[in-house]
Amino acid sequence: MKKKLSAILLSLALAASAASCGKSEGSDENTVKIAYLPITHSLAVLEEAEELEKQSGQKVELVKYGSWSELLDALNSNRVDGASVLIELAMKSKQEGIGLKAVALGHRDGNVIIVSNDIGSAADLKGKTFAIPHRQSSHNILLNDALATAGLTIDDVNVTELAPTEMPSALASGQIDGYCVAEPFGAMGVSLGAGKVLFSSEELWEDSLCCGLVLTDKFIEERPDDAKSFVTSYKSAGNALDKETAKEVAKKYLSQSDEVLDISLQWISYNDLDITKETYDTLAEKVKAYGLSDDTPAYEDFVKNDF
């Protein structure tokens, strides 16, 4: 019996080592490993992954995560070379001493404040429960901006953190009264008939920042040429990402219905993805004013625009 068990354990160990061997052979030195979440906010990086190999032979290995915390963990421990990530999370990591740079925006605009059908204005949100994906997010900032239009603050609502996928059903069941989160989960709430758009992000915050393409200092320092070609190609992929192409890429990676994507993709664009000092400084001011963080990294330390 003992012998049989040790034979099984040995074969399991061999299988595990064969699997890990296979993995390391699969990613060669030319590969750029990029972490993402399956949301429309990551479409520029998903589009680029397809184009880059055709154009330059450089391969992008896309690593999908189910939550921001798992993705951040991989990014902060150099298990990936970069990520499309909520910029506030990357700013927080930078403040904590993690070596990374924001090299481009993930997208422009593309967020909405979704509320239940019985809410008619921002003032009606007083005393209600509102979901955001993470305290460190532009969704939190947009909620603060929305409340400010009615003279309210974050203290006037009950804020809850929920996984994006749970928000549309939580709104439909009345567990929450509104939410703001990466797309297409806002569009999903609209498509379900659970709620409506109270504000789009550009009505509250012109040229808002949300997700950023972030690369690790390790990758930039060890492979500067790869980093340069990756970022250049990423920005041109964004410029080429019109509604039709965005939908094709989204259908391939996001497994969402046509209706949800058609609603969601109206709200977002991917052209001109440079992070300017002006827009970054506005973000940094909001992060401090709304209490997401007491301090923020300086533009010069955090943003790399000179590829």
By CB under 5 A, name the binding residues for Zn ion: 41, 210-211
Comparison of 146 and 211: residue with beta carbon closer to Zn ion: 211
In the complex, what is the shortest distance from the CB of residue 55 to Zn ion, in angstroms, rounded to a whole number?
25
How many angstroms separate the CA atoms of 211 and 41, rounded?
Answer: 7
Min separation Cβ 102 and Zn ion, Å: 13
Residue number, 41 or 286, with CB nearest to Zn ion: 41
Q: What is the rounded CA–CA span in Å between residue 245 and residue 242?
A: 5
Q: How far apart are CA 173 and CA 217, in angstroms?
A: 44
As measured in angstroms, the least distance from the Cβ of 211 to Zn ion is 3
Which residue lies nearer to Zn ion by CB, 119 or 162?
162
HSE toward the beta carbon, residue 100, CA cutoff 13 A? 32
Name the minimum Å distance from CB 84 to Zn ion. 8
Query: Which residues 6+ apart lie within 8 Å of 266 measured at CB?
Result: 243
Residue 171 · residue 194 · CB < 8 Å: yes
Of 119 and 132, which has the nearer Cβ to Zn ion?
A: 132
Q: For residues 87 and 176, which CB has a smaller minimum distance to Zn ion in the complex?
A: 87
Which helix (DSSP H) or strand (DSSP E) does residue 238 occupy? helix 224-239
Task: Give the Cβ contact number of residue 161 at 10 Å.
Answer: 11
Using alpha carbons, select from 86, 82, 75 the residue that is nearest to residue 111.
86
Q: What distance in Å separates the CA atoms of residue 22 and residue 26, rounded to the nearest whole number?
A: 6
Closer to Zn ion by CB, 41 or 247: give it: 41
CB of 108 to Zn ion, least distance (A): 10
Closest separation in Å from C-beta 275 to Zn ion:
13
Q: Distance (Å, rounded) from C-alpha 124 to C-alpha 141?
A: 18
